[in-house]
Amino acid sequence: MKVLLINGSPRQKGNTATALAEVAAQPQKNGIESEIVWIGNKPVRGCIACNQCKAKADGRCAFDDDVCNRISAKFAACDALVVGSPVYYGQPNGALLAIIQRAFYSNGGAIAGKPAAAIAVCRRGGATASFETLNLPFQMMNMPVVTSQYWNIVYGREPGQAALDAEGMQTLRALANNMAFLLKATGGIPAPGRGDEPWAPMHFIR
């Protein structure tokens, strides 16, 4: 089994990387593979609701000039997902949100039902709002949200300082152990969601 971890920071070796490395090390102790992918620091497009990904039904976003499709192509081979982001103005990195929105919309079938967790890394404030925002897409994709002993929040300003947050690091190790436990207990089988029941979309305009 394999856990895919997404580093949603433009800084490849910043505190978000430190946090994700702590998580990645634990599944390996339980015989579970882990892979960290970085979104990079190049421009990322936002979704323009063109629906071309649905028309083609190939799991790829119509925009193929950034990292989105390269990341979503890894969904099928993973059994769980961890997304980490720095906190900007009380929110996750905008580039990361754009990637998640486009990847989940274009290739959601490859990640739906698989366990997931989010990590917010900040200097001082805004972590809980970012943490909640990152978790919202998981709940729309029937993905069991893996918990820990506290919210998955780590503090640090300069690169590497997150490692000094002893409680934060412990929280991440507990998260990783819980994820490994869940994967082993389920055999990596995704949650069924609505099963064979057809989607019943509606709105409230009468």
pTM score, whole prediction: 0.96
Question: Could you tell me the pLDDT band of residue 195, with boundaries at 50, 70 and 90?
Answer: confident
User: 175 pLDDT exceeds 90?
Assistant: yes
- Using CA atoms, how far apart are residues 29 and 180, in angstroms rounded to an integer? 9
| CATH architecture of the domain with range 2-186 | 3-Layer(aba) Sandwich (3.40)
Domain positions in the chain: 2-186
User: What confidence tens digit (pLDDT) does each residue in 51-109 have?
Assistant: 999 999 999 999 999 999 999 999 999 999 999 999 999 999 999 999 999 999 999 99
Question: Could you tell me the pLDDT band of residue 204, with boundaries at 50, 70 and 90?
Answer: confident
User: 206 pLDDT exceeds 80?
Assistant: no
